[in-house]
Structure 1
Amino acid sequence: MSLDSPATEAFTLQRRAKGGGTAPLTHWGFANETDPLSDVLLGSPAHLRHLATSSLSRKFLRDAPCNIQVAQAQHAELVSAYEHFGVKVHFHKPESELPMQVYARDSSVMTPYGAIITAMSQWWRRGENYAAIRSYEALGIPIYDMVTAGTFEGGDFNVIEEGCVLIGCGGARTQEEGARQVQSWFEAEGWETRLAFIDEYYVHIDLMVVPIAEKLTAVCLACTDPAIVDWLKAKGHEIIDVPFQDTMALGCNFMSLGKDKVIAPTSSKTLIDQLRARGFEVAAVDTQEISKTGGGIHCMAQSLKRVAA
C-alpha cells in the first residue's frame, strides 16, 4: 500500500495533445468505470477533521459531529474490502495540513490518457491538488492536464461507459467554466459528453448517478434530472433506483470493482438487496461515521487501473 511503482510512462505535467488525438496510456488508466479494478488510489484518514464542506457535513457538524477514531476504523475496513477483492491499494502521502485528503476522488481524475489535476473550490482543500501531482509522479502516471478555467472536482467526472462522460456542475464546487473546459478536452478526443446541471445541495453528480456494470447504473430518480435518466435509458442502461433517503446518506455512492463485485455502504439496503438479487457479490462496509464529514465510498477512491474483462 505505497506509492512506490516503476515508471511505465514518461512523467509530464501536460500530456494532452491540443486538438485531440492523445494516445492512451500503455499501463495505467481505464476505458470505463465498470471494468475489473486492479489498482486504486486512496487518501489516508490519519489527519481527518470534520469541516463544513457541504450542507450534509455542516448538518452533522452541528447535530452529531464525527467520531474521528470510529471513522478511521471504518476506513481501515474499507481498505480491507479492496484487499479482499485483490485490488492493490495506493495512498496519497498523508499531510497534516490536508484534513480532507481522504476524499481522493476530488483532487484528481484518472482517464485513459493520464490524470487530470482538478481545481478545488474550498481554500483549505487546494493543497490536495499539489499533493496529487506528487502522488502521480511517484506512481509514474503522467498528467493529462490541469483544470485552469474555473473550479472543478473529481466527483463531477462520471464515466458512464467507454468514450462517454457525464460531467456534473453544481456551481459551488464545480463551476460551469471548469466543467466546460474539461468537456472541450474530451470532445476533442472524440468522447460523447453531457453536462448535468445540479443543485449545489447535492455537491457532485456521483451523489446520484454511479455506474454499476455494463449498461447498469444506479440513479436516484427523485433528485436526478429526468432528461439525464432518459439519456441513460436511450443508451440502453437499466436503472436501479436508489431511494432519496438512502441517497442523502451516500447510499448511491459506492464503488464498482467489475466482474459483478461492488463495495457499498451498509446503510444502502435497497441497493444491496437489488444487487445481490442480480447475483452481485457485495462487500457491505459501515461508513456512517466517516461519511458525516461529507463523502462516501465513491468519493474516497480514484481508480488508477482497470483491465477490460
Structure 2
Amino acid sequence: MDELLKDVNAWTPLAIAWGSNLLAATIILIVGWWVSAAVGRAVGKAASRSPRIDPTIVPMVRSVAVWAIRIFTLIAVLARFGVQTASLIAVLGAAGLAIGLALQGTLQNISAGIMLLALRPLRAGEYIAIGSSQEGTVQEVGLFLTRLTQADGINISLPNSTVWNATIINYSRHVRRRLDVASVVRYGDDIDLAINTLKALVAKHPLVLQDPAPAVLVTEYRDNGVVVVARVWAEASKHWELTCSLRYEVRKALESAGMRAPVPVRGVEDEEVSSGAAKAPAQSGDLTS
C-alpha cells in the first residue's frame, strides 16, 4: 500500500501537468480555429461592403489569412507539450522544400494565381474566353483554381497555370463593344435604298449608342449580292441582346423596303442551244450565198 501511495504521489504532478497542458492546448486550438473562421468572414464582409476592394482577390486573401492563423495555432499547441518549435520550423522548411519539388505543378498554380491577381487580366463578374476552348463569367480566382460559369449555367474549374499560360480574351473590361451585322443586297436591287433603310433602323434603335456614331458600309461583293454592314456600338452588357435584335430587324427592314432574298444566282446555258446559236450565222451565210 505504501508503495502504491508513493507511485500515485509521484505520478500526480506529472498527470496534473499533462492535464493542464492538454486543457490549454485544446482551448488554444478551439480559439485559434474560431479566430481563423472569424477573420475569414470579416474579410468577406469587408470586401462586400467596400467598393474599392476587387472581389477577385477576396478568396485568395481569405484563404491565406485563415491558414496562417491556423498554422500559428498548431505551433502554439505543440509548444504547450514541450516541442521545440524552432527545430520544428526548420524541419517543416526542409519538408516544404521537398514537397515543393515534388509538387511543382501545384506551386505553379499558386504563383499563376498570384500573377493573375497582381496584373488583373480578369476580375470577378467579367465574361472571358480562355484561348479557344473555354469561356464564361469569372466567379473567383483561388489559390489553385479559377472558376467560371458558362452561359448555360455549367461551372468550369481551370488550373491557374492553364489560365495564365493561355490567351485571355476579356469581353467585359470596356463598357462599350462594337457590333457588325452583315446583310446581303441582291444584284439589281437599289443599294442606296438598302443603305438608307439600315441607317434609319440603327438611328432609332434604343440599344444602339449614338456616340460613336453608327455607320452603314459596303464591304464585299459575293455571288449572291453586295454585302452591307451595319456597324454600331452598344453597352457591353447589352451586346448579345442587340446582336439578336439587329439580326432579326435588319432582314425584316430590307424585306419591307422591297429587297429580294439574297439567294445565289447562277446562269445555266444549254449545250445544244449554245452550239446551235454558234452555227446559225454560218448556215445563214450558206443560204445567202
TM-score by structure 1 length? 0.17
- Bigger Cα Rg: 2
Q: Which has the higher contact order (CA 8 A, sep 6+)?
A: 1
Higher helix fraction: Structure 1 or Structure 2? 2
Higher strand fraction: Structure 1 or Structure 2? 1
